[in-house]
Amino acid sequence: MTMWKNLNSQDATSPTMKQLMFFHDHSMMILILIATSIFYFMIYMSFNFYINRFLLNKQNIEIIWTVLPMLMLIFIALPSIHLLYLMDGVSNPILTIKSIGHQWYWMYEYSDFKNIEFDSYMNKDIKINSFRVLDVDNNLILPTNTHLRMLITSTDVIHSWAMPALGKKIDAIPGRLNQINLLINQPGILFGQCSEICGANHSFMPIVIESIPMNFFIK
Ligand SMILES: [Cu+2]
């Protein structure tokens, strides 16, 4: 059933995205709890019309409905901040890749490894096994199960480098160098898009990562 699959996020391909999905499910459970209890009280009170006639200056109930939402917010905020902190760290990467946003394509550099740089343009012709407005001519090839660092910047306007399967989205700002850590769990092809309205062809600068095992990558 592809319809139900499309309602959820893409499959997680990094530990970060896996944790983000756990956190999403956790907050959805709290949300369902709140929604059902509020719905229950609404129905209950609409059938008992004068239930709150004497509900004036009741300190206890006021304390409860102040403290309870506070606790719920803490249960959401703590794991959220924890995750944010974990996502920010860069742990001794083996490789640094530079990603530069242009109007309207991405440019990549493997500056400390082989001194390779290349442009990554969208494929305009639709072939039988290609994805429309998602395929590019030169994929970004990265090794799996390795800590990577990506430095992101732009030459013209603000772009945003986003890869949903990895749980990453970071702005490419001219004159600034943003840093992000990547860890890809498995070999495969991952699709992303520029996520900052950057001009006329904003929709046509996709990102494709081709992740391959480390021993293939070195060759
Ligand atoms: Cu852009």
Gap from CA of 132 to ligand 1 centroid (Å) = 17
* 79 and 137 belong to one structural domain: no
More confident residue, 69 or 4: 69
The whole-number pLDDT of residue 166 equals: 93
pLDDT band at 193 (very low <50, low <70, confident <90, very high): very high
Gap from CA of 187 to ligand 1 centroid (Å) = 26
Q: Is the pLDDT of residue 219 over 80?
A: no
More confident residue, 147 or 6: 147
**94-101 mean pLDDT:** 92
**99-127 mean pLDDT:** 88
Gap from CA of 195 to ligand 1 centroid (Å) = 7
List, for residues 25-52, the tens digit of each pLDDT value: 999 999 999 999 999 988 887 877 666 6
- Specify the amino acid at residue 190: L
The whole-number pLDDT of residue 92 equals: 87
CB atoms within 10 A of CB 150: 23
List, for residues 51-80, the tens digit of each pLDDT value: 666 667 778 888 998 999 999 999 999 999
Gap from CA of 105 to ligand 1 centroid (Å) = 7
Q: What is the pTM of this model?
A: 0.83
Residue 25 lies in a domain: yes
Gap from CA of 102 to ligand 1 centroid (Å) = 7
Gap from CA of 42 to ligand 1 centroid (Å) = 46
* 116 and 188 belong to one structural domain: yes
* 132 and 173 belong to one structural domain: yes
The whole-number pLDDT of residue 125 equals: 83
* 54 and 116 belong to one structural domain: no
Gap from CA of 208 to ligand 1 centroid (Å) = 14
Structure-token pair, residue 136: 């590019």
Gap from CA of 192 to ligand 1 centroid (Å) = 12
Supply the range of the domain harboring residue 136.
Answer: 95-218
* 211 and 131 belong to one structural domain: yes
The whole-number pLDDT of residue 3 equals: 76
Count of the separate structural domains present in the chain? 2
Gap from CA of 154 to ligand 1 centroid (Å) = 9
Residue 67 lies in a domain: yes
The whole-number pLDDT of residue 55 equals: 64
The whole-number pLDDT of residue 161 equals: 95
- CATH code, domain carrying 188: 2.60.40.420
Give DSSP secondary structure letters for 102-118: ETTEEEEEETTTT-EEE
* 82 and 29 belong to one structural domain: yes
Gap from CA of 206 to ligand 1 centroid (Å) = 9
Residue 62 lies in a domain: yes
Gap from CA of 180 to ligand 1 centroid (Å) = 18
Gap from CA of 137 to ligand 1 centroid (Å) = 17
CB 139 within 8 A of CB 212: no
Residue 44 lies in a domain: yes
Gap from CA of 198 to ligand 1 centroid (Å) = 5
